[in-house]
């Protein structure tokens, strides 16, 4: 007979944390969210770490180079998706590694023959009001000038007129040549009282834009995660098919961490693939595995796969229908508690700590906090990041609200058959994910700042200053349905929610 596990599969919303003693030491500025990303001997420094325990899901609608750049600047790490060609994925990694803080590649470019209407459309799509006017309308073509909202009057000018009648040409712009340092560029911006400084190469082709506002932004990112050469830290995903060729291309462009992306990682394919990579590239390369939801799954990947970290979660993702389609998965809190216990047991036996990552279904900041308290070293999120300005999808407006598209890797849209072993053929036989929209939530940096503020404030309530202390000291209680209701507002009217009757 099959084994029946009596324990109910539980999830984050069913638990609350109990406060511990908060001493005068327990203030947010003393909380340190640095966690290990790679396995390590107890007492030794891990080869890789995160300054913020957030990683982004390896998904087409989530982890492109802009998002990876923004997340590394906040101390976390993106895993650039692998459901694309090896060349395209390596190019995204390269873009992050070549990102020069303060030097921005222009994403809004038009040619002089485009119209003001084209400029307005582009501004709406990108949210950026500075448009580079180049000879071909492409970003690295010869720069002719800039068009900003100060160059035309949206409500008065004829929007069918070509941009050539409005833009500010090079003769009236302040610009600098490639090779200029950020310090020099910033000084030039300040002296000329300009908002934007284009950087051109010897042929006059546009390379970067430097913005005055980014100067302040740079100073507000003390947790930025970089490699030894001060380049931004970035990860990339692999499948178990072309992993050797893919890993080589990614390592060649400087990727900092690799991670297998599979809906079920408790497989011989994944363990063998991870081992083969380890044998080829040695202990220095960081390799993540997953996903698992059982103690055996964790131990198998740690031992047979020799992986650096293990992702936990099956079927909890916001766009995931695996549980409905195949009937497999586990409540995320239960999965995490069991795997965290096994990680600690494994650590006691071997002296090696293998970090775990709670992946999927983190719908609120309280879920992130609970995942960390229940034993996760870091969290992987898809929807959370898909909603931000920097995810790779365009914003759309529906009934006055802004949204971004977000689809699962198991949806027909992504067609990522390598992530799901559904048949012997290279195809997706049935969908395990949906194609949806999520509300637009603004810039990633602002969103992460708020989440981090909440995590730190909760940790102070618990009387802990590190994630490790939280694992050891958090006291967690199960709650009844009525307790959950009681946790919302009760018997009060929130004016902004009252429907005005006419």
Residues that bind ligand MZP (CB under 6 A): 57, 59, 291, 317-320, 322, 359-362, 380-384, 408-411, 432-433
Find how far residue 328's CA is from the centre of its chain: 26
Find how far residue 154's CA is from the centre of its chain: 35
Give the whole-angstrom CA distance, residue 288 versus residue 266.
Answer: 13
211 vs 384, which CB is nearer to ligand MZP? 384
215 vs 241, which CB is nearer to ligand MZP? 241
Confirm if 79 and 379 have CB atoms less than 8 A apart: no
User: Nearest approach, Cβ of 316 to ligand MZP (angstroms)?
Assistant: 6
- Sort 425 into a burial class: Cβ within 10 Å, 0-12 / 13-18 / 19+: exposed
254 vs 331, which CB is nearer to ligand MZP? 331
122 vs 455, which CB is nearer to ligand MZP? 455
Give the chain's length.
Answer: 502
Q: What are phi and psi of 347, to 5 degrees?
A: -65, -40
| 291 cis-preceded (ω within 30 degrees of 0) | yes
59 vs 371, which CB is nearer to ligand MZP? 59
250 vs 379, which CB is nearer to ligand MZP? 379
User: Nearest approach, Cβ of 167 to ligand MZP (angstroms)?
Assistant: 41
User: Nearest approach, Cβ of 326 to ligand MZP (angstroms)?
Assistant: 10
Contacts of 379 (CB under 8 A, 6+ apart): 53, 54, 55, 357, 358, 359, 362, 368, 371, 372
What pairing do the DSSP bridges indicate for beta strands 49-50 and 35-36? Answer: antiparallel
62 vs 200, which CB is nearer to ligand MZP? 62
- Going from the C-alpha of 108 to that of each of 139, 142, 172, 289, 397, the distances in angstroms are 8, 14, 20, 38, 19
CA dihedral of 211, 216, 221, 224, whole degrees rounded to 10: 40
User: Nearest approach, Cβ of 132 to ligand MZP (angstroms)?
Assistant: 34
Confirm if 422 and 429 have CB atoms less than 8 A apart: yes
Give the whole-angstrom CA distance, residue 317 versus residue 263.
Answer: 11
The CA-to-CA distance between both ends of the chain, in Å, stands at 64
Q: Which residues are catalytically annotated?
A: 320, 419
- Going from the C-alpha of 152 to that of each of 440, 448, 493, the distances in angstroms are 28, 35, 45
Where do we find the tokens 């079920």? 264
User: Nearest approach, Cβ of 267 to ligand MZP (angstroms)?
Assistant: 15
267 vs 291, which CB is nearer to ligand MZP? 291
User: Nearest approach, Cβ of 17 to ligand MZP (angstroms)?
Assistant: 21
User: Nearest approach, Cβ of 439 to ligand MZP (angstroms)?
Assistant: 13
User: Nearest approach, Cβ of 265 to ligand MZP (angstroms)?
Assistant: 10
287 vs 380, which CB is nearer to ligand MZP? 380
Q: Which residue is nearest to ligand MZP (CB)?
A: 433
Q: Which helix (H) or strand (E) holds 439?
A: strand 435-439
User: Nearest approach, Cβ of 30 to ligand MZP (angstroms)?
Assistant: 29
Where do we find the tokens 């999965």? 335
**Which residue in 188, 155, 157, 152 sits closest to 168, CA to CA?**
152
Find how far residue 235's CA is from the centre of its chain: 10
Q: Which helix (H) or strand (E) holds 189?
A: helix 182-192
**Which residue in 310, 381, 378, 304 sits closest to 343, CA to CA?**
310
């Amino acid at each position: 007979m099959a084994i029946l596990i009596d324990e109910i599969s539980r999830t984050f919303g069913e638990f609350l944390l109990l406060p511990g003693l908060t001493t005068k030491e327990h203030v947010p500025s003393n909380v340190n969210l640095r966690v290990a990303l790679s396995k390590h001997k107890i007492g030794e420094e891990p080869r890789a770490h995160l300054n913020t325990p957030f990683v982004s899901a390896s998904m087409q609608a989530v982890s492109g180079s802009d998002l990876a750049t923004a997340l590394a600047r906040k101390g976390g790490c993106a895993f650039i998706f692998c459901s694309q060609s090896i060349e395209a994925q390596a190019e995204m990694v390269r873009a992050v590694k070549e990102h020069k803080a303060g030097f921005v590649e222009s994403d809004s470019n038009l040619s002089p023959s485009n119209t003001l209407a084209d400029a307005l459309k582009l501004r709406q799509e990108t949210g950026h009001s500075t448009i580079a006017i180049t000879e071909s309308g492409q970003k690295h073509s010869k720069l002719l000038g800039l068009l900003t909202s100060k160059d035309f009057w949206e409500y008065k000018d004829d929007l069918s007129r070509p941009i050539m009648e409005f833009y500010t040409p090079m003769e009236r712009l302040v610009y600098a040549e490639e090779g200029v340092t950020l310090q020099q560029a910033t000084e030039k911006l300040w002296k000329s009282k300009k908002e934007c400084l284009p950087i051109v190469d010897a042929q006059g082709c546009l390379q970067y834009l430097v913005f005055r506002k980014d100067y302040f932004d740079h100073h507000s990112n003390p947790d930025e995660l970089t490699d030894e050469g001060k380049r931004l830290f970035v990860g990339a995903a692999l499948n178990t098919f072309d992993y050797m060729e893919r890993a080589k291309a990614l390592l060649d462009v400087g990727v900092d961490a690799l991670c297998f992306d599979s809906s079920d990682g408790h497989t011989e394919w994944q363990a063998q693939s991870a081992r083969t990579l380890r044998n080829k590239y040695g202990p220095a390369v960081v390799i993540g595995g997953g996903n698992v939801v059982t103690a055996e799954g964790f131990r198998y990947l740690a031992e047979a796969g020799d992986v650096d970290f293990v992702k936990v979660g099956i079927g909890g993702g916001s766009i995931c229908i695996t549980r409905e389609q195949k009937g497999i998965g586990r409540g995320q809190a239960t999965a995490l508690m069991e795997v965290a216990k096994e990680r600690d047991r494994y650590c006691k036996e071997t002296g090696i700590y293998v970090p775990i990552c709670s992946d999927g279904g983190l719908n609120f900041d309280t879920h992130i906090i609970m995942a960390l308290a229940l034993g996760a070293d870091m969290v992987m999120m898809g929807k959370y990041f898909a909603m931000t300005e920097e995810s790779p999808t365009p914003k759309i407006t529906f009934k006055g609200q802004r949204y971004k598209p977000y689809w699962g890797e198991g949806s027909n849209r992504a067609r990522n058959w390598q992530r799901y072993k559904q048949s012997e053929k290279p195809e997706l036989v049935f969908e395990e994910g949906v194609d949806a929209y999520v509300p637009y939530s603004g810039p990633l940096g602002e969103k992460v700042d708020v989440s981090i503020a909440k995590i730190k404030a909760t940790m102070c309530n618990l009387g802990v200053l590190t994630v490790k202390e939280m694992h050891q000291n958090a006291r967690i209680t199960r709650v009844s349905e009525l307790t959950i209701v009681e946790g919302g507002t009760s018997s009060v009217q929130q004016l902004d929610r009252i429907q005005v009757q006419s």
